[in-house]
Amino acid sequence: MTSQRPIQSLTVTELQQAHEDLIHQYKALQAKNLSFDLTRGKPAPEQLDLANAMLTLPGQETYRDQAGVDTRNYGGLTGLRELREMFAELLNVDVELLIAAGNSSLEIMHDLIAYSLLYGTADSPRPWSKEEKISFLAPVPGYDRHFAICESFGINLIPVPMNADGPDLNTVKKLVADDATIKGIWCVPTYSNPTGVTITEEIARELVAMPTAADDFRIIWDNAYAVHTLVEHAPKALDILSYAHEAGHPNRPFVVASTSKITFAGAGVAFFASSQANQAWYQKHLSKKSIGPDKINQLRHVLFFKDAQGVLTHMEKHRDILKPKFDALLAILDERLGGAEVAQWTQPEGGYFVSLDVVPGTAKRTVELAKAAGIALTGAGSAFPYKNDPNDTNIRLAPSFPSLQEVKEAMDGVATCVLLAAVEHQLVK
Ligand code: PLP
């Protein structure tokens, strides 16, 4: 369809003509036998190549950290001091409240919830598992793996709308004030997955200050994309731990991050920052499952980056690879869908995703059409608890992994699928 008129304004005859044109385009798309994967926010091989020098670090002679500790041996639960200092600066947290851990922040988040269920948090009257019901707030659209942790433990997820400046405060405040089963909220403060939203300081301060019926309410502050900017300067990470301290709720935020999308997605370093009481609580339980993290990998990161500026300079190289893919994706959406009023999408300044809202009731059909044309998209509804997008409208696009040319071809195909699904839907109205 080349028409740039809103499909709602087309007559039945025009719609039928548009449908015929689109079926023609769709058959041509299928005939290309494409095999593209836009499902997950994985770094592309060229991004991983940027850190290849790490594969030969630290080298046979270099295995001691700055304090002279032999990184090859057991111990050092809190991680290498010099790496903690580097990331304390980037994450805007006090180094004394930050530890460097294993290779995955998701694992830390899983442990935080598991420990809370098994033992209760530092402020809990009893283990969460002993409560009749536990709930978490899920800003939507959000990160499916956050929701999957809660789902796997039987924690009830309550969707709350995500606005341009963060989770919808009116809804959040009302819910947490009255409902003591609500023990926490998931937040991705910088370039959120998948909306690209960066939470403002004002919202962050409200989140740590708001009255909650549960005394042991927690904010999982997952700063996975703190330095992953597509524009020249990333916003400075919010000093959420200080805000919480000032608001009288020092134990409320659990801050996590990792280098998964800075160095290697399978061999990065994850971080956990929280109040002194929370660190004591976390490390007490952690010490039962680990004698210490992979300090050699931590040393490798220290030697590779040298300092916080080294990380930011490295991220500029990621931006050079990612930005053209995002630009191409957005240009194709604009060109193919701009006038037809069949979709809205985000214009992220960082992170790994574009969030696409198609005509309500057509997201599943769009993903199905794309799949049958060899273009794998994240499942419709994935960004919602229980994979239930009540309006069947949201699709998460992840352009990082395919090549630039593949992104262009795939997105042109996706646009055809969005239009075809929209016209089909309009025809049966
Ligand atoms: N948090 C968010 C918001 C993510 O998007 C991702 C990966 O896509 C992760 C965490 C995974 O982090 P890690 O690799 O440190 O486990």
Q: Ligand 1: which atom is nearest the Cα of residue 107?
A: 16
Ligand 1 and 100: CB distance under 6 A: no
Which DSSP symbol is given to 168? Answer: -
Q: How far is the CA of 191 from the centre of ligand 1 (A)?
A: 12
Q: How far is the CA of 424 from the centre of ligand 1 (A)?
A: 36
| CATH T-level topology, domain 75-305 | Aspartate Aminotransferase; domain 2 (3.40.640)
What ranges do the domains of the chain cover?
7-47+313-427, 75-305
Look at residue 429 in the predicted model and tell me its pLDDT. 80
Residue 3 has pLDDT above 80, yes or no: no
Residue 2 has pLDDT above 50, yes or no: no
Q: What is the pLDDT of residues 283-299, one digit of tens each?
A: 999 999 999 999 999 99
Ligand 1 and 260: CB distance under 6 A: yes
Q: Whole-angstrom Cα distance, residue 152 to residue 165?
A: 29
Look at residue 5 in the predicted model and tell me its pLDDT. 85
Q: Ligand 1: which atom is nearest the Cα of residue 105?
A: 15
Name the token pair of 49.
């190549």
Q: Ligand 1: which atom is nearest the Cα of residue 143?
A: 3
- Give the least confident one: 36-40, 224-228, 331-335: 36-40
Radius of gyration of the chain (CA): 23
Q: Ligand 1: which atom is nearest the Cα of residue 188?
A: 3
- How many CB atoms lie under 10 A from the CB of residue 336? 21
Q: How far is the CA of 422 from the centre of ligand 1 (A)?
A: 32
Q: Whole-angstrom Cα distance, residue 89 to residue 309?
A: 10
Look at residue 40 in the predicted model and tell me its pLDDT. 84
Ligand 1 and 258: CB distance under 6 A: yes
Q: Whole-angstrom Cα distance, residue 101 to residue 352?
A: 23
Look at residue 59 in the predicted model and tell me its pLDDT. 93
Q: Percent of the chain, pLDDT > 70? A: 99
Mean pLDDT, to the nearest integer, of 122-133? 98
Q: Whole-angstrom Cα distance, residue 356 to residue 347?
A: 10
Ligand 1 and 222: CB distance under 6 A: yes
- The architecture of the domain spanning 7-47+313-427 is Alpha-Beta Complex (3.90)
Q: Ligand 1: which atom is nearest the Cα of residue 103?
A: 15
